[in-house]
């Protein structure tokens, strides 16, 4: 298998994190509960299915006096939770007349070529990667629509209804307890790197904007180890309380020979998010731990570049064959 293929977490008896030959009982994991909560919620699915591909937002006034939006009298965009440089906002969203809270966020943005590309790419990832349980390091999209009213503001024409996350890596790394936990820091970093590698290898795309704000996380209750397979090699990562997901594909480009070196930039781009020096504890750790976290982190892109140069000298460039099982729809 030529991609980072995620398999169930497996428990082991070894406290030194050495993976034994025989893996113990497979546990139920949050990834499948994420899918189950949507796929088996017929009421929600039926509601969202009524949203048309050309629907537009309708402005409303909330009880507290704030202005917000409805989408086909099915979804209510309750409040802005993020405003970004993609030309729009992300709203925490509720399903009208639904019992309980369903984890939805609505991304409202300009109808641009890059934003359209991102939404359609995310839709294909949901259908061909997440629903097929190939990787848990991506966010689910439930629905998207493009408002067809010419008089409507272009800044709110493209609407993407997505799974909501608990936050991004930037906010997570600002937590002192996480910053002082070296094992957890490396776990989160490796998850981010694996999500980048999966994006590269499975989708044949360069992300192009790998900073901490574009890696989201969910709380996680999984135990044991995650099992990944890459080029026939088995990789194991201890389960932790956070699942990292790569997000925001507005600057993504197909991998070609002329831009292949940008693969390294994706990996290097996420590393500064893990070098938060705002806390004294982290400053001391950077100096004391294993000759310094800065040095170890800087070695990652260096090693990648070394491997790239070796592959380049041997004529081993990125092969489109590795994504042959992923049917990407051209826009």
Kindly state whether residues 315 and 182 are assigned to the same domain. Answer: yes
**Are 118 and 222 found together in one domain?**
no
Same structural domain, 268 and 153: no
In a domain, 213, yes or no: yes
Which domain, by its residues, includes 140?
30-163
Query: When comparing pLDDT for 299 and 170, which is higher?
Result: 170
Q: Is the pLDDT of residue 223 over 80?
A: yes
Which tops the pLDDT comparison, 109 or 278? Answer: 109
pLDDT of residue 81: 86
CATH number at residue 108: 3.30.200.20
Rounded mean pLDDT of 209-226?
Answer: 90
Mean residue pLDDT of the chain comes to 76
Domain assignment present for residue 329? The answer is: no
Domain end (from 163, 194, 228): 163
272 has pLDDT over 70: yes
Answer yes or no: do 247 and 267 share one domain.
yes
Higher pLDDT residue, 223 or 279?
223
* Pair (179, 138) in one structural domain: no
Q: What is the pLDDT of residues 73-110, one digit of tens each?
A: 899 998 888 876 656 889 999 988 776 667 789 999 99
Residue 181 has what pLDDT?
86
The reply to whether 175 and 47 lie within a common domain is no
Q: How many domains in the chain? A: 2
pLDDT of 48 = 87
**Residues 182-199: pLDDT tens digits?**
889 889 999 999 999 999
Residue 328 lies in a domain: no
Q: Does 25 fall in a domain?
A: no
Q: What is the per-residue pLDDT for 286?
A: 47
Place of tokens 């996680």: 220
Same domain for 41 and 185? no
pLDDT higher at 67 or 55: 55
209 shares its domain with 294: yes
Model pLDDT, residue 331? 29
Distance CA 160, CA 139 (A): 12
State which of 163, 182, 210 marks the end of a domain.
Answer: 163
**Torsion, CA 39, CA 43, CA 44, CA 49, rounded to 10:** 90
The three-state DSSP-derived secondary structure of the chain is CCCCEEEEEECCCCCCCCCCCCCCCECCCHHHHHHHHHHCCHHHHHHHHCCCCCCCEEEEECCCCCEEEEECCCEEEEEEEEEECCCEEEEEEEECCCCCCCCEEEEEECCCHHHHHHHHHHHHHHHHHHCCCCCCCECCEEEEEECCCCCCCHHHCEEEEEECCCEEHHHHHCCHHHHCCHHHHHHHHHHHHHHHHHHHHHHCEECCCCCHHHEEEEECCCCCEEEEEECCEEEEEECCCEEEEECCCCCCEECCHHHCCHHHHHHHHHHHHHCCCCCHHHHHHHHHHHHCHHHHHHHHHHHHHHHHHHHHHCCCCCCHHHHCCCCCCCC
Looking at 81-85, 179-183, 257-261, which range is the least confident one?
Answer: 81-85
Beta-bridge partners for 309: none
Cβ proximity of 298 and 306 under 8 Å: no
Do 81 and 179 belong to one domain?
no
pLDDT on residue 98: 73
Residues 91 and 148 in one domain: yes
Q: Does 189 map to a domain?
A: yes
User: What pLDDT, in 10s, does the model give residues 17-60?
Assistant: 333 232 323 333 345 556 655 554 567 778 888 999 999 999 88
Lowest mean pLDDT among 133-147, 163-177, 207-221, 291-305: 291-305
**Domain edge (last residue) among 112, 139, 163:** 163
Same domain, 13 and 57: no
**For residue 330, is it within any domain?**
no
């Amino acid at each position: 298998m030529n991609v980072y293929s995620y398999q169930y977490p497996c428990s082991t008896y070894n406290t030194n994190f050495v993976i034994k030959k025989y893996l113990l009982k497979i546990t139920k994991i949050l990834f499948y509960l994420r899918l189950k909560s949507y796929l088996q919620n017929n009421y929600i699915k039926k509601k969202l299915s009524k949203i048309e591909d050309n629907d537009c937002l309708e402005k409303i006034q909330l009880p507290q006096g704030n202005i917000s939006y409805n989408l086909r009298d099915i979804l209510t965009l309750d409040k802005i939770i993020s405003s970004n440089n993609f030309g729009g906002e992300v709203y925490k969203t509720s399903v009208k007349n639904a019992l309980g809270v369903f984890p939805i966020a609505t991304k409202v943005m300009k109808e641009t070529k890059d934003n359209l590309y991102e939404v359609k790419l995310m839709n294909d990832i949901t259908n061909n990667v997440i629903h097929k349980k190939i990787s848990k390091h991506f966010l689910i999209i439930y629905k998207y629509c493009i408002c067809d009213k010419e008089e409507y503001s272009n800044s709110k024409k493209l609407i993407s209804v997505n799974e909501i996350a608990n936050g991004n890596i930037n906010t997570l790394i600002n937590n002192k307890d996480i910053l002082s936990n070296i094992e957890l820091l490396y776990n989160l970093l490796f998850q981010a790197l694996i999500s980048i590698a999966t994006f590269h290898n499975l989708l044949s795309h360069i992300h192009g904007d790998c900073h901490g704000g574009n890696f989201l996380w969910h709380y996680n209750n999984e135990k044991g180890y995650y099992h990944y397979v890459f080029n026939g090699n088995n990789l194991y990562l201890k389960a932790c309380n956070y699942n990292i997901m790569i997000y925001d594909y507005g600057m993504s480009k197909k991998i070609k020979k002329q831009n292949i070196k940008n693969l390294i930039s994706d990996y290097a781009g996420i590393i500064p998010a893990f070098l938060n020096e705002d806390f004294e504890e982290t400053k001391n750790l950077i100096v004391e731990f294993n000759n310094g976290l800065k040095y170890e982190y800087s070695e990652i892109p260096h090693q990648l570049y070394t491997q790239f140069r070796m592959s380049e000298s041997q004529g081993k460039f990125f092969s489109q064959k590795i994504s042959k099982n992923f049917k990407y729809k051209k826009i």
